[in-house]
């Protein structure tokens, strides 16, 4: 599987992403449909446990 984020970084291209703290997996699904290059799921400050993060992946 190609790592498109890594390729962009290695080519000096700009990347756009966001931190995700909302407690709703539907929001993560909606963000996945955008042109974001990455989304960081904040498990320190957000309401997520391992199981909920796995469901979002």
What pTM was computed for the model? 0.71
**Residue 34 burial by Cβ neighbours in a 10 Å radius (0-12, 13-18, 19+):** exposed
Predicted confidence (pLDDT) at residue 6 exceeds the cutoff of 80: yes
Long-range contacts of 50-54 (CB under 8 A, 24+ apart): 52/25
Q: Number of folded domains in the chain?
A: 1
User: What average pLDDT is seen over the chain?
Assistant: 88
Whether 7 is in a domain gets the answer no
Tokens of 17: 């992403």
Predicted confidence (pLDDT) at residue 54 exceeds the cutoff of 80: yes
Whether 11 is in a domain gets the answer no
Whether 30 is in a domain gets the answer yes
Supply the DSSP symbol for 44.
Answer: T
Whether 10 is in a domain gets the answer no
Whether 39 is in a domain gets the answer yes
3-state secondary structure of 51: helix
Q: 50 is in which domain, residue-wise?
A: 16-56
List pLDDT tens digits, range 7-29: 999 999 999 999 888 777 888 88
Whether 2 is in a domain gets the answer no
- H or E element: which one contains 1? none
Whether 5 is in a domain gets the answer no
């Amino acid at each position: 599987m190609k790592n498109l984020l890594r390729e962009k970084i290695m080519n000096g291209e700009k990347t756009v992403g966001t931190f995700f703290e909302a407690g709703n997996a539907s929001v993560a699904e909606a963000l996945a449909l955008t042109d974001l290059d990455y989304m960081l799921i904040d498990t320190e400050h957000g309401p997520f446990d391992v199981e909920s993060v796995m469901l979002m992946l």
